[in-house]
Protein backbone atom coordinates (compact mmCIF):
# COMPACT_ATOMS: atom_id res chain seq x y z
CA UNK A 1 0.00 0.00 0.00
CA UNK A 2 1.20 3.52 -0.68
CA UNK A 3 0.46 7.14 0.20
CA UNK A 4 -0.06 9.62 -2.61
CA UNK A 5 1.07 13.17 -1.83
CA UNK A 6 -0.36 15.79 -4.20
CA UNK A 7 1.72 18.96 -4.31
CA UNK A 8 4.69 17.00 -2.93
CA UNK A 9 7.12 19.14 -4.94
CA UNK A 10 5.93 22.28 -3.15
CA UNK A 11 7.07 23.87 0.08
CA UNK A 12 5.00 22.05 2.70
CA UNK A 13 4.37 18.89 0.65
CA UNK A 14 8.10 18.25 0.14
CA UNK A 15 8.66 18.44 3.91
CA UNK A 16 5.77 16.04 4.46
CA UNK A 17 7.36 13.60 2.00
CA UNK A 18 10.54 13.62 4.09
CA UNK A 19 8.59 12.95 7.28
CA UNK A 20 6.55 10.14 5.70
CA UNK A 21 9.70 8.49 4.32
CA UNK A 22 11.34 8.63 7.73
CA UNK A 23 8.25 6.90 9.14
CA UNK A 24 8.77 4.08 6.63
CA UNK A 25 5.87 4.90 4.30
CA UNK A 26 5.84 4.09 0.57
CA UNK A 27 5.40 7.61 -0.86
CA UNK A 28 4.23 8.71 -4.32
CA UNK A 29 4.06 12.34 -5.46
CA UNK A 30 1.68 13.90 -7.97
CA UNK A 31 2.56 17.48 -8.91
CA UNK A 32 2.21 19.61 -12.03
CA UNK A 33 5.36 21.58 -11.06
CA UNK A 34 3.48 24.88 -11.54
CA UNK A 35 5.02 26.31 -8.35
CA UNK A 36 6.93 23.24 -7.09
CA UNK A 37 10.34 21.87 -8.00
CA UNK A 38 11.21 18.34 -9.10
CA UNK A 39 14.53 18.57 -7.21
CA UNK A 40 12.62 19.03 -3.95
CA UNK A 41 11.01 15.59 -4.27
CA UNK A 42 13.02 13.13 -2.21
CA UNK A 43 11.58 10.15 -4.14
CA UNK A 44 12.25 11.22 -7.78
CA UNK A 45 11.48 7.71 -9.01
CA UNK A 46 7.94 8.06 -7.62
CA UNK A 47 7.16 11.54 -9.02
CA UNK A 48 4.20 11.72 -11.39
CA UNK A 49 4.12 15.05 -13.22
CA UNK A 50 0.46 15.79 -13.85
CA UNK A 51 -2.74 17.45 -12.77
CA UNK A 52 -4.84 16.42 -9.76
CA UNK A 53 -7.94 16.60 -11.97
CA UNK A 54 -6.60 14.13 -14.54
CA UNK A 55 -9.06 11.29 -13.87
CA UNK A 56 -7.30 8.76 -16.09
CA UNK A 57 -3.94 9.35 -14.49
CA UNK A 58 -5.43 9.19 -10.97
CA UNK A 59 -7.30 5.98 -11.67
CA UNK A 60 -4.10 4.40 -12.98
CA UNK A 61 -1.91 5.52 -10.04
CA UNK A 62 -4.47 4.49 -7.43
CA UNK A 63 -4.97 1.04 -8.93
CA UNK A 64 -1.39 0.24 -9.98
CA UNK A 65 0.27 1.56 -6.84
CA UNK A 66 -2.44 0.43 -4.38
CA UNK A 67 -2.98 3.88 -2.88
CA UNK A 68 -4.34 3.63 0.65
CA UNK A 69 -4.33 7.35 1.47
CA UNK A 70 -4.06 10.69 -0.30
CA UNK A 71 -2.46 13.70 1.35
CA UNK A 72 -3.63 16.70 -0.64
CA UNK A 73 -1.37 19.78 -0.65
CA UNK A 74 -1.70 20.77 -4.33
CA UNK A 75 -3.35 24.11 -4.84
CA UNK A 76 -2.97 27.83 -5.37
CA UNK A 77 -1.87 29.66 -2.25
CA UNK A 78 -1.58 33.43 -2.72
CA UNK A 79 -4.37 35.18 -0.82
CA UNK A 80 -4.26 38.60 -2.60
CA UNK A 81 -4.14 36.85 -5.99
CA UNK A 82 -7.35 35.04 -5.06
CA UNK A 83 -9.05 38.42 -4.61
CA UNK A 84 -8.18 39.60 -8.12
CA UNK A 85 -8.52 36.17 -9.77
CA UNK A 86 -11.09 34.24 -7.72
CA UNK A 87 -12.04 31.83 -10.49
CA UNK A 88 -8.46 30.51 -10.62
CA UNK A 89 -8.87 29.55 -6.95
CA UNK A 90 -12.33 28.06 -7.34
CA UNK A 91 -10.94 25.95 -10.21
CA UNK A 92 -7.58 24.84 -8.82
CA UNK A 93 -8.56 24.55 -5.15
CA UNK A 94 -12.25 23.69 -5.22
CA UNK A 95 -13.23 22.14 -8.56
CA UNK A 96 -10.02 20.16 -8.97
CA UNK A 97 -10.20 18.94 -5.36
CA UNK A 98 -13.69 17.70 -6.19
CA UNK A 99 -12.26 15.67 -9.11
CA UNK A 100 -9.50 14.30 -6.89
CA UNK A 101 -11.94 13.30 -4.14
CA UNK A 102 -14.13 11.57 -6.72
CA UNK A 103 -11.13 9.66 -8.07
CA UNK A 104 -10.38 8.56 -4.51
CA UNK A 105 -13.93 7.34 -3.94
CA UNK A 106 -13.97 5.48 -7.27
CA UNK A 107 -10.55 3.96 -6.61
CA UNK A 108 -11.39 2.86 -3.06
CA UNK A 109 -8.85 5.12 -1.31
CA UNK A 110 -9.51 4.79 2.40
CA UNK A 111 -8.14 8.01 3.89
CA UNK A 112 -7.74 11.63 2.83
CA UNK A 113 -5.71 14.35 4.54
CA UNK A 114 -6.29 17.91 3.42
CA UNK A 115 -4.35 21.19 3.65
CA UNK A 116 -6.85 23.67 4.96
CA UNK A 117 -6.02 27.05 6.40
CA UNK A 118 -6.65 29.53 9.18
CA UNK A 119 -8.03 31.73 6.36
CA UNK A 120 -11.36 29.87 6.78
CA UNK A 121 -11.90 31.84 10.02
CA UNK A 122 -11.65 35.37 8.59
CA UNK A 123 -11.38 38.15 11.15
CA UNK A 124 -10.68 36.36 14.41
CA UNK A 125 -10.47 38.28 17.65
CA UNK A 126 -7.45 38.38 19.91
CA UNK A 127 -8.33 35.11 21.64
CA UNK A 128 -6.90 31.83 20.37
CA UNK A 129 -9.36 30.45 17.83
CA UNK A 130 -10.99 27.01 18.19
CA UNK A 131 -12.32 24.92 15.33
CA UNK A 132 -16.00 25.34 16.16
CA UNK A 133 -16.28 29.14 15.99
CA UNK A 134 -18.43 30.46 13.13
CA UNK A 135 -16.46 30.45 9.89
CA UNK A 136 -16.36 33.63 7.89
CA UNK A 137 -13.54 33.60 5.34
CA UNK A 138 -12.80 37.02 3.87
CA UNK A 139 -10.87 35.93 0.77
CA UNK A 140 -11.78 33.68 -2.17
CA UNK A 141 -8.74 31.60 -1.11
CA UNK A 142 -10.33 30.92 2.28
CA UNK A 143 -13.71 30.18 0.69
CA UNK A 144 -12.12 27.84 -1.86
CA UNK A 145 -10.58 25.82 0.98
CA UNK A 146 -13.70 25.84 3.14
CA UNK A 147 -15.74 24.44 0.25
CA UNK A 148 -13.27 21.56 0.02
CA UNK A 149 -13.66 20.90 3.75
CA UNK A 150 -17.41 20.71 3.18
CA UNK A 151 -17.03 18.36 0.20
CA UNK A 152 -14.94 16.08 2.38
CA UNK A 153 -17.48 16.17 5.21
CA UNK A 154 -20.32 15.21 2.87
CA UNK A 155 -18.29 12.61 0.97
CA UNK A 156 -17.15 10.94 4.19
CA UNK A 157 -20.79 10.76 5.32
CA UNK A 158 -21.81 9.02 2.09
CA UNK A 159 -18.81 6.82 1.29
CA UNK A 160 -16.14 4.64 2.88
CA UNK A 161 -13.60 7.44 3.29
CA UNK A 162 -12.28 9.07 6.43
CA UNK A 163 -10.45 12.38 6.42
CA UNK A 164 -8.48 14.87 8.46
CA UNK A 165 -8.51 18.54 7.43
CA UNK A 166 -5.67 20.46 9.05
CA UNK A 167 -6.10 24.23 9.29
CA UNK A 168 -2.57 25.56 9.09
CA UNK A 169 -1.62 28.82 10.74
CA UNK A 170 1.52 30.66 9.51
CA UNK A 171 3.96 28.13 8.14
CA UNK A 172 7.67 29.02 8.12
CA UNK A 173 11.19 27.64 8.43
CA UNK A 174 12.82 24.80 6.55
CA UNK A 175 14.13 21.29 6.93
CA UNK A 176 16.50 21.33 9.94
CA UNK A 177 18.99 19.25 7.91
CA UNK A 178 18.93 21.86 5.14
CA UNK A 179 17.73 19.56 2.35
CA UNK A 180 14.74 21.71 1.34
CA UNK A 181 12.93 24.89 2.35
CA UNK A 182 10.60 27.61 1.10
CA UNK A 183 11.78 28.04 -2.50
CA UNK A 184 8.79 29.71 -4.14
CA UNK A 185 9.76 32.60 -6.38
CA UNK A 186 8.20 35.97 -5.50
CA UNK A 187 7.07 34.72 -2.09
CA UNK A 188 5.26 37.29 0.04
CA UNK A 189 5.48 35.60 3.46
CA UNK A 190 6.92 37.74 6.24
CA UNK A 191 9.75 35.46 7.41
CA UNK A 192 10.91 34.65 3.89
CA UNK A 193 10.84 38.30 2.80
CA UNK A 194 12.71 39.34 5.96
CA UNK A 195 15.38 36.67 5.38
CA UNK A 196 15.84 37.85 1.79
CA UNK A 197 16.23 41.39 3.12
CA UNK A 198 18.82 40.21 5.64
CA UNK A 199 20.78 38.61 2.79
CA UNK A 200 20.69 41.80 0.72
CA UNK A 201 18.37 40.35 -1.92
CA UNK A 202 15.83 43.05 -1.13
CA UNK A 203 16.82 46.56 -0.06
CA UNK A 204 14.25 46.85 2.74
CA UNK A 205 11.12 45.28 4.20
CA UNK A 206 7.78 47.01 4.62
CA UNK A 207 5.83 46.63 7.84
CA UNK A 208 2.21 46.68 6.72
CA UNK A 209 0.45 48.71 9.41
CA UNK A 210 1.64 49.77 12.85
CA UNK A 211 -1.73 51.00 14.12
CA UNK A 212 -3.39 47.69 14.95
CA UNK A 213 -4.84 47.18 18.44
CA UNK A 214 -1.96 44.88 19.45
CA UNK A 215 0.96 45.16 21.90
CA UNK A 216 3.22 47.05 19.49
CA UNK A 217 0.69 48.03 16.82
CA UNK A 218 1.75 45.35 14.30
CA UNK A 219 -0.16 42.18 13.37
CA UNK A 220 0.15 39.03 15.43
CA UNK A 221 0.43 35.56 13.91
CA UNK A 222 1.00 32.02 15.13
CA UNK A 223 4.14 30.86 13.26
CA UNK A 224 4.56 27.10 12.98
CA UNK A 225 7.71 25.30 11.84
CA UNK A 226 7.12 23.45 8.57
CA UNK A 227 8.67 20.24 9.94
CA UNK A 228 6.24 20.17 12.87
CA UNK A 229 3.42 20.71 10.40
CA UNK A 230 4.77 17.91 8.19
CA UNK A 231 4.83 15.56 11.18
CA UNK A 232 1.19 16.37 11.93
CA UNK A 233 0.28 14.79 8.58
CA UNK A 234 2.07 11.56 9.43
CA UNK A 235 0.27 11.54 12.78
CA UNK A 236 -3.04 12.14 10.98
CA UNK A 237 -2.35 9.20 8.67
CA UNK A 238 -1.65 6.86 11.58
CA UNK A 239 -4.73 8.14 13.39
CA UNK A 240 -7.00 7.38 10.43
CA UNK A 241 -5.34 4.04 9.79
CA UNK A 242 -6.04 3.08 13.41
CA UNK A 243 -9.74 3.73 12.89
CA UNK A 244 -9.91 7.38 13.98
CA UNK A 245 -13.03 9.19 12.84
CA UNK A 246 -12.94 12.19 10.49
CA UNK A 247 -11.58 15.35 12.05
CA UNK A 248 -10.96 19.03 11.40
CA UNK A 249 -8.10 20.41 13.48
CA UNK A 250 -6.04 23.57 13.84
CA UNK A 251 -2.32 23.25 13.35
CA UNK A 252 -0.45 26.00 15.16
CA UNK A 253 1.42 26.43 18.43
CA UNK A 254 -1.16 28.52 20.26
CA UNK A 255 0.87 31.68 20.74
CA UNK A 256 1.54 34.62 18.53
CA UNK A 257 4.35 37.02 17.64
CA UNK A 258 4.04 40.50 16.21
CA UNK A 259 5.62 41.52 12.92
CA UNK A 260 8.13 43.63 14.86
CA UNK A 261 9.07 40.65 17.07
CA UNK A 262 9.64 38.50 14.00
CA UNK A 263 11.87 41.14 12.44
CA UNK A 264 13.96 41.37 15.63
CA UNK A 265 14.38 37.59 15.52
CA UNK A 266 15.59 37.81 11.91
CA UNK A 267 18.09 40.49 12.91
CA UNK A 268 19.36 38.26 15.73
CA UNK A 269 19.78 35.31 13.35
CA UNK A 270 21.53 37.44 10.71
CA UNK A 271 23.73 39.19 13.26
CA UNK A 272 22.95 42.64 11.85
CA UNK A 273 20.05 45.03 11.49
CA UNK A 274 17.86 45.22 8.39
CA UNK A 275 16.16 48.23 6.86
CA UNK A 276 12.55 48.34 7.98
CA UNK A 277 10.03 50.79 6.52
CA UNK A 278 6.57 51.65 7.70
CA UNK A 279 3.88 51.00 5.10
CA UNK A 280 0.08 51.25 5.08
CA UNK A 281 -2.02 48.29 6.22
CA UNK A 282 -2.26 45.47 3.68
CA UNK A 283 -5.79 44.80 2.48
CA UNK A 284 -7.55 41.99 4.33
CA UNK A 285 -5.01 41.48 7.13
CA UNK A 286 -6.65 40.55 10.45
CA UNK A 287 -4.94 42.12 13.50
CA UNK A 288 -4.36 38.81 15.27
CA UNK A 289 -4.63 35.14 14.25
CA UNK A 290 -3.64 32.60 16.88
CA UNK A 291 -4.71 28.96 17.09
CA UNK A 292 -6.07 26.93 19.92
CA UNK A 293 -4.25 23.64 19.24
CA UNK A 294 -5.97 21.59 21.98
CA UNK A 295 -7.81 19.34 19.55
CA UNK A 296 -4.84 18.24 17.43
CA UNK A 297 -2.78 17.57 20.54
CA UNK A 298 -5.48 15.44 22.06
CA UNK A 299 -6.71 13.59 18.97
CA UNK A 300 -3.39 13.01 17.19
CA UNK A 301 -1.00 13.15 20.14
CA UNK A 302 0.90 15.77 18.13
CA UNK A 303 3.86 17.24 20.02
CA UNK A 304 5.85 20.00 18.35
CA UNK A 305 9.67 19.84 18.28
CA UNK A 306 10.45 23.33 16.98
CA UNK A 307 8.16 25.66 18.94
CA UNK A 308 10.76 28.43 19.09
CA UNK A 309 10.61 31.53 16.88
CA UNK A 310 14.40 31.97 16.79
CA UNK A 311 14.82 28.38 15.61
CA UNK A 312 12.16 28.77 12.90
CA UNK A 313 13.85 31.93 11.68
CA UNK A 314 17.36 30.45 11.77
CA UNK A 315 16.22 27.47 9.68
CA UNK A 316 14.51 29.83 7.22
CA UNK A 317 17.64 31.97 6.96
CA UNK A 318 19.92 28.93 6.52
CA UNK A 319 17.75 27.72 3.65
CA UNK A 320 17.56 31.16 2.04
CA UNK A 321 21.37 31.33 2.12
CA UNK A 322 21.61 27.92 0.46
CA UNK A 323 19.02 28.87 -2.16
CA UNK A 324 20.97 32.01 -3.02
CA UNK A 325 24.07 29.90 -3.74
CA UNK A 326 22.01 27.44 -5.73
CA UNK A 327 20.46 30.17 -7.93
CA UNK A 328 23.79 31.88 -8.64
Ligand X SMILES: O=c1ccn([C@@H]2O[C@H](COP(=O)(O)OP(=O)(O)O[C@H]3O[C@H](CO)[C@@H](O)[C@H](O)[C@H]3O)[C@@H](O)[C@H]2O)c(=O)[nH]1
Nearer to ligand X, 79 or 195 (CB): 79
Q: Of 305, 322, 291, which Cα lies nearest the Cα of 129?
A: 291
The residue from 36, 209, 256, 304 that contacts ligand NAD (CB under 6 A) is 36
C-alpha distances in angstroms, 239 versus 116, 231, 254, 292? 18, 12, 22, 20
Report the candidate in 284, 283, 299, 203 with the shortest Cα–Cα distance to residue 248: 299
CA distance 44 to 38: 7
Cβ-based neighbours of 250, under 8 Å, separated by 6 or more: 118, 129, 130, 131, 166, 167, 169, 291, 292, 293, 295, 296
By rule CB under 6 A, what string of x and - marks binding of each residue 28-47 to ligand X? --------------------
Cα separation of 4 and 69, whole Å?
6
Residues 6+ apart with CB under 8 A from 192: 172, 182, 184, 316, 320
Q: Interface with ligand X by CB under 6 A: which range of 82-90, 154-162, 188-196, 313-321?
A: 188-196
Interacting positions 214-243 with ligand X (CB under 6 A)? 219, 221
Among 74, 190, 198, 207, binds ligand NAD (CB under 6 A): 74
Residue 73 as a binder of ligand NAD (CB under 6 A): the answer is yes
- Of 81-89, 90-98, 206-214, 230-238, the segment contacting ligand X by CB under 6 A is 206-214
Interaction between residue 119 and ligand X (CB under 6 A): yes
Beta bridge partners of 115: 166
In the set 141, 168, 223, 239, the catalytic residue is 141
Q: Looking at beta carbons only, is 42 or 250 nearer to ligand X?
A: 250
For residue 162, state whether it binds ligand NAD (rule: CB under 6 A).
Answer: no
* Interface contacts to ligand NAD, rule CB under 6 A: 6-7, 9-13, 31-36, 51-52, 73-75, 77, 92, 96, 115, 117, 168, 170-171, 184
Would you name the residues annotated as active-site residues? Answer: 141
Amino acid sequence: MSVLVTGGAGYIGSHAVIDLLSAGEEVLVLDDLSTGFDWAVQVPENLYVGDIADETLLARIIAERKVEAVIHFAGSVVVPESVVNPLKYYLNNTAKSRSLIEACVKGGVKHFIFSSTAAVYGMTGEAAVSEDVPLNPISPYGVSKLMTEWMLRDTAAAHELTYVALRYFNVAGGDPKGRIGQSTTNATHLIKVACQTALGQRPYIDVFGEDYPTKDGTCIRDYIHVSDLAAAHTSALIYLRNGGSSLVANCGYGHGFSVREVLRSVERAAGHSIEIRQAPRRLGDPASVVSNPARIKEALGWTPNYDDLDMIVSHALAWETKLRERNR
